[in-house]
Each structure stands twice: as structure tokens, then as C-alpha cells.
Amino acid sequence: MSKKKFYAIDIFAGCGGLSEGFKQAGFDIIAQVEMDRWACETLKTRHLYYELKEKRKGYLYHRYLKEKVSRDHLFNRFPDIEKSVSYRVIRGTFGKDNMKEIIKKIESSGRYHGSPKFHVLLGGPPCQPYSLIGRARDPCRMEYDERHYLYEHYLDILRHFQPDIFVYENVPGLFTARAMGKEIFKKILEDFLALNPSYEITPPLEQICEDPHSYILDSVGFHVPQRRKRLFLIGYRKVLERRNPGIKEIFRNLQRVALKNKKNGYLTVDDAIGDLPRLKPGQGNDGWLGVYDGNAGLKSYQIKMRKDSPGILNHKARKHMKTDIERYRFFIEHHKNGHGAATLNDLIRKRPDLIPEHKCLDKFLDRFKVQWWNRPSSTITAHICKDGHYYIHPDIDQCRSFTVREAARCQSFPDNFKFEGPRTEQFRQVGNAVPPLLAGVIARHIIRELEKIYD
């Protein structure tokens, strides 16, 4: 953890995956701006955990997880925590009319928490316009979606606060997205580099033009048991390079870490969820489920996830229609019998009685996907809030889709990270998040370079 205090802002924060990684690395997250109600409630709960922990009252947070006290009770008991959290979590929707208000609230939180400046800006605008799947479903390929320009609000915050470093995250589909006939990624780069004071992106712009995919980080290379490729633009104020030339190597150093980890092997679904309680469809609990069933034979990742948690929560299996359960059983058995991963075509050919009622049977042939024990999971997306067909549990005796906690484990959220709201909203939060362990590696590399500047 850093000796010097560094401060960060997180906009389009979601439930706080980026923030969590930066907080674990030692950053003080002064402000998180998010429009979604339930994501904001999750952010408040996470701040409650850290504030109680700082007071050495972590056992009270455990009581909340066990549903023995309410969150309101704890806020009433510690009004200073409630006030601190009310400053840190800013519920708002970006737009020209309220930008000044959001900036004012961020500044107020900075003053309240004694932040002399903001060192890092985090965030990634909603990715639906850049999603390849979303564009495939839209007849106009999302070209006229106004969300293409949400990055401009990120630029407004960057321009106003002038942090030393920014971390901008989005999906790889951004490379090929178009808005009103123009390449949106090219415009985003031009706008970032036209800022005053000027910023440099690491690696430099020439490399982006030659190979834009060099800006992709896959979470599986950072001790996350999930294949999740994301675009990261990491920029720094040009003036800082005079004091620390190494600042321009942040992204390359991250790539070296991923390459080294690749040689050592990746974590798997078994590493992620092999220790969690077995559930049949409909079993479990959206809130507190209970204490762990022993610690013998745990894997290192499971031990890490369990740290400072009194037990298991957000572990409730969906109820499934009988036909869906039979489909899941077919896809699991198909692979176990040595026929490899099945597609919808295999189901149509071998079990026509289980063909789903769907208009587009010739598209998305992998819409039923088993997450195998011996591999990293597929990318956890927000679509998991609609159905779990892409996330079928590998255990044929359980024959169900992933729970929120299982998805969160694959995303590297610790077990004491409570997702607030109905289960659908919990799934949405997990699917939209940046894996905290990946964010933590990025954060530690940034802290290392900032410490050289402020030494």
C-alpha cells in the first residue's frame, strides 16, 4: 500500500469494480458518479464496509451481511460515516444541464475529505453502442445512438479537474464502431489528445494507429478466472514525463505482467467457484445464505475471495423451466460424452423436442454455453440479468445457471462485497463491472509511477 495518499474520481462508476481495485491498492475514492439507483446503493454499502473497517468496527459490517442489523441502523449509529458516504456517492445522469452540479458535488466531496487534488480519473461510459452483439441486433448498427458521445462528459471532467492520470475503459468493439458515418474511436482519440493541458496516451498514438488491439487487456492475464477483453486508454499529463520518464511505460508494464502470467497458466471456473455450496434451481438466498462449509482443501483464489467475509451471500439459483433444465443437461452431457461443446445446431439435430421457441435459430448458435471446470469462464456480461443460458453451471447434478455470487467470483469481487437490489439488478451490476483484481494491478502500477513524481 502506498505511503502517500492518492485520490481518485470514478465516473460512470457502476457498482464500483474499477473503484474497488483502486481502493484495494491504496487510493482514496473521493467521488463516484453513477445514474443507476441500485448500483449507487451497492457503492454506499461498500463505503460503509471500508469506513467501519477504518474504525476497527468491521464486525458490525459482518452483522449487516448476516441481516442482524440494517444499514440504516449503522448509518444512524455513525452519522459521520453516513455523511462521508453521502458525499462520495453521487447519483446523477450526465448532460449539459447538470454538469456544473455534478462538478460542484465532486469538489464538495474533495473539500470534505481533505483532498488537495485528484490524481486519477477513472471511468468507462456505457458500452452498448460499441457492443458487437448490440450492433448486430440493431438495423442501423447503433450508428445513431446518442450514447456514442457520452465520452464527452468524461472529457469535461478531465478538462476541469486536470488529474495527473486518467484510465478510460470500454469494450474492444469501440475500434470498429461508427457514429453518423464516422469512426468514433478515431474521434475519441483526437479529442483526448486535443485537451489543454495536454495529455499523452500510453503507449503513444502511433502504436494505436498501427495496431489498436495493442490497447486490449484480457482479465485472464491478471489472476482473474475469466476471459474478458477490454480496451484501456491510460493517459498522463505530458509535463509529468520530465519528472518521471517511466510514466510512459505503464501500459507496456501491464502487458508484461499479462505475458508472464500466461506462462504460469490461467485460473479456471473450478478455482473460482468450486468451493461454493451446491444448489438446485431455486435454492439459495439473494441476501445472506450462511457460513462457509469448512476451509479444508481450498485453492488460493478461494481463500483470497473469502478474506474478511463471515460467509456467503448473493448465492441464489434461478428457477428454470423444465425445458431449460433439459437443455442444460443436453449441453453438459454432450461435452462429457466426448463430443465437444455443442451448439444450437446440435440440439436441433439430436433433440428437436427441446428446440427453443425463437425466431432467429440461425443466429447466436452458442446461446447455450457451459462454463467448464478446467477453463476460465466466458466474459460475464450484463445479459446475464435476462437469462443464464450463456452461463450454465458445469455440474450436471446442479443443472442450472450461475448465481450472482458465482458470476461475481469469476469477476474477482470478494465475498464480502454485497450487491444491493433485486437479483436482476445484482446480475446487471456484476456484468457491467471491471474485474477488481485487474483494476488493482493497474492501480498499483499507477501508484508506483506517481510515487516517483511526488517523492
**Partners of 335 in the β-ladder:** none
* pLDDT computed for residue 355 by the predictor: 79
310 and 251 within one domain: no
Same domain, yes or no: 410 and 444: no
pLDDT digits (tens, 9 = 90+) for 36-49: 999 999 999 999 99
| Together in a domain, 306 and 233 | no
- In which band, very low, low, confident or very high, does the pLDDT at 181 lie, cut at 50, 70 and 90? low
pLDDT of residue 230 exceeding 50: yes
pLDDT level of residue 144 (50, 70, 90 thresholds): very low
Rounded mean pLDDT of 11-25? 97
pLDDT score at 140: 38
pLDDT at 173: 83
Is 226 inside any structural domain? yes
Would residue 113 count as lying in a domain?
yes
CA distance 223 to 196: 37
DSSP 56-87: T-HHHHHHHHTTSS-HHHHHHH-HHHHHHHHH
**Same-domain check for residues 413 and 444:** no
Q: What is the pLDDT of residue 77?
A: 98
Unique residue bearing C-alpha cell 492501480: 443
The per-residue pLDDT for 189 is 84
Residues 11 and 114 in one domain: yes
Question: In the prediction, which pLDDT does 59 show?
Answer: 98
| pLDDT reading at 327 higher than 50 | yes
Number of domains in the chain: 2
Place of cell 461454493: 276
Q: Say which CATH number the domain at 122 has.
A: 3.40.50.150
Whether 414 is in a domain gets the answer yes
Report whether 171 contacts 232 (CB < 8 A): no
Identity of residue 192: F
Residues 441 and 401 in one domain: no
Pairing of the two strands 284-290 and 178-179: unpaired
pLDDT value, residue 4: 86
Higher pLDDT, 132 or 202: 202
Q: Does residue 67 have a pLDDT over 70?
A: yes
Grid coordinates in use for 230?
477490454
Say what the pLDDT of residue 311 is: 97
pLDDT digits (tens, 9 = 90+) for 391-402: 999 999 999 999
In angstroms, the CA 366 to CA 346 distance is 10
User: Residue 393 contacts by C-beta under 8 Å, 6 or more apart in sequence?
Assistant: 328, 370, 371, 399, 400, 401, 402, 406
Residue 173 resides in a domain: yes
Query: What Rg, from alpha-carbon coordinates, does the chain have?
Result: 22
- Any idea what the CATH number is for the domain that residue 319 is in? 3.90.120.10
Query: In the chain, what percentage of residues exceed pLDDT 90?
Result: 72
Which domain does 27 fall in, by range? Answer: 7-262+436-454
Is the model's pLDDT at 136 over the cut of 50?
no
More confident position, 342 or 170: 170
Q: Cell digits for 379? A: 466474459
Give the model's confidence band at 359: pLDDT under 50 very low, under 70 low, under 90 confident, else very high.
low
Give the span between the Cα atoms of 453 and 447, in whole angstroms: 10
Distance of CA 126 to the CA centre of its chain: 12
Q: Which of 437, 434, 435, 432 is nearest to 38 (CA)?
A: 432
Per-residue pLDDT at 134 exceeds 60: no
The Cβ-side half-sphere exposure at 161, using a 13 Å CA radius, reads: 35
Neighbours of 155 (CB within 10 A): 16
Residue with the larger pLDDT of the pair 445 and 1: 445
Query: Is position 137 within any domain?
Result: yes
Span 270-318, pLDDT tens digits: 999 999 999 999 999 999 999 998 778 899 999 999 999 999 999 999 9
User: Is the domain of 74 the same as that of 126?
Assistant: yes
Once rounded to an integer, what is the mean pLDDT over residues 84-106? 91
Active site residues: 127
Residue 41's closest CA among 16, 68, 23, 66?
16
Indicate whether 198 and 296 sit together in one domain: no
Residue 2 in any domain: the answer is no
Query: CB pairs under 8 A, 24+ apart, for 208-213?
Result: 212/175, 212/185, 213/172, 213/175
Tell whether the model's pLDDT for residue 26 goes beyond 50: yes
Residues 391 and 243 in one domain: no
Domain membership of residue 116 (yes or no) is: yes
380-390: average pLDDT? 93
DSSP, res 341: S
Q: Is residue 424 in some structural domain?
A: yes
- Residue 203: all three cell numbers together: 503507449
**Hey, which bits of 182-321 come out as E strands?**
182-183, 199-202, 216-218, 229-237, 284-290, 312-316
29 and 53 housed in the same domain: yes
Note the pLDDT of residue 46: 98
Residue 82 cell numbers, joined: 453516513
CA torsion sign for 59, 13, 9, 304 is positive
**pLDDT reported for residue 400:** 96
Question: Based on the domain organization, do 286 and 255 belong to the same domain?
Answer: no
Identify whether residues 333 and 409 lie together within a single domain. Answer: yes
C-beta separation of 181 from 145 below 8 A: no
When pLDDT is averaged across residues 134-152 and rounded to a whole number, the result is 54
For residue range 27-38, what is the model confidence (pLDDT) as tens digits?
A: 999 999 999 999
What percent of the chain shows pLDDT beyond 70?
89
Cα(324)–Cα(104) distance, rounded to whole angstroms?
50
Say which residue, 152 or 415, is predicted with more confidence: 415
Average pLDDT of the chain, as a whole number:
89
Strand (E) positions, 277-406? 284-290, 312-316
